[in-house]
Amino acid sequence: MKALVTGASSGIGRDMAIYLSKIGYDIILVARNEDKLIDVKEKLDTPSDILIADLNNKDDVDKVIDRCKKDKIDILINNAGFGLYGSFYESDLDKEIEMINVNVIAVHRLTKEVYKMMKEANGGYILNVASSAGLLPGGPLLSTYYATKSYVRSLTLGLYEENRRNLNNVHFSVLCPGPINTNFNNVAGTSFNLKSMSSDFVAKYAVDKMFKNKVVIVPGFMVKCGLFLQRFICVKLLLKIIYNIQVKKGRKN
C-alpha cells in the first residue's frame, strides 16, 4: 500500500506522511526542499522515496503524475500550498500566479490523472487540502488564497458526487481546517490572532476521517461551530468581520 503526499517537507503534509507510515503505508514524499524531505524520510517506519518537485512548474507536476501512475498509489494527498497576505491592489501578481499554479492547477491536474488511474483500478483515496477559508464567502487581504481554497473545496465536492454515482471504490475528501501551527504564517507574512491547532492532531484526524469516507473534514469543535454560525450572517457583514480578523494578521515588524 502506497501513498503520495505533496508538501511533505513541513507542517500538515509532513505529519500526514508520518502518520500514514505509522499505520503501514509506504510513502512518496513530494516538495522542493530536499534537506527537509530527508529529515522527514528518516522519521518514517516504512519504505519511502523522495521526489523533488516544484508544483509551480508544469514539467515537475507531470513528473509527480508519472510517479503516481508508475507506483499505482492507493492514496493521493494534495496538500502543498501557501498563502500571501496583503491587499489585492498592492500584492505581487507573479507570486499570486505561482499560488494559483500550486494551490489550484497542480491539484487539478494531479486529481484528474490520479482519479482516472484509481477509477480503472476500482479503488483509492484522494484527499485534497483546502481550508476553512474555502468554506467562507471571501477573504479580504488574503483574497487570492481564499479563492484558491474555494476552488479546491468546490472541485472535490463536485467530483465526490460524480464519482458516487459510478459506484466504485474511489473516495474523495476535502480537508478544511482553521488555523494550524505550521510554517504557513512565515510564508504568507501573517500571524494568527486566533488559537491554532497542532499539525500532528490535524494530520491524524484528517487521515482517520478520510478512511471513514467523510467528505468535508473540519477538525476542531470551535472551527465547526464558527463555520456553522457564519451561515446565518449576511454576506456583507461576514466580509466585514473577516476583514477585521485578517487585518490583525498582518505581520507587525
Ligand X SMILES: NC(=O)c1ccc[n+]([C@@H]2O[C@H](COP(=O)([O-])OP(=O)(O)OC[C@H]3O[C@@H](n4cnc5c(N)ncnc54)[C@H](OP(=O)(O)O)[C@@H]3O)[C@@H](O)[C@H]2O)c1
Q: Which of residues 76 and 80 has its CB atom nearest to ligand X in the complex?
A: 80
Q: Give me the catalytic one of 25, 85, 125, 145.
A: 145
Q: Applying CB under 6 A, which of residues 3, 13, 77, 85 lies at the interface with ligand X? A: 13
* b/e per residue 36-64 (b: at least 16 CB within 10 A): bbeebbeebebebebbebbbbeeebbeeb
Q: Applying CB under 6 A, which of residues 19, 22, 23, 36 lies at the interface with ligand X? A: 36
Span from 154-162, 181-189, 215-223, 243-251 in contact with ligand X (CB under 6 A)? 181-189
Q: Applying CB under 6 A, which of residues 17, 76, 102, 159 lies at the interface with ligand X? A: 102
Half-sphere exposure of 31 (CA within 13 A, CB side): 26
Q: Which of residues 122 and 154 has its CB atom nearest to ligand X in the complex?
A: 154
User: What HEC string does 156-203 produce?
Assistant: HHHHHHHHHCCCCCEEEEEECCCCEECCHHHHHCECCCCCCEEHHHHH
Would residue 19 show up in a list of annotated catalytic residues for this protein? no
**What x/- string results for residues 142 through 171 when contact with ligand X is judged by CB under 6 A?**
------------------------------
Query: Cβ of residue 199: shortest distance to ligand X, in angstroms?
Result: 6
**What x/- string results for residues 195 through 214 when contact with ligand X is judged by CB under 6 A?**
----x---------------
Task: Determine phi and psi for 105, rounding to 5 degrees.
Answer: -65, -45
Q: Which residue is nearest to ligand X (CB)?
A: 11
Q: Which of residues 53 and 141 has its CB atom nearest to ligand X in the complex?
A: 53
Strand partners, 190: 250
**What's the CA gap between 7 and 181, in Å, rounded?**
15
DSSP 3-state of 4: strand
Three cell numbers at 137?
464567502
Residues carrying an active site annotation: 145
Q: In the complex, which residues of this chain contact ligand X (CB under 6 A)?
A: 7-13, 31-33, 36, 53-56, 79-82, 102, 129, 131, 177, 179-180, 182-184, 187, 199
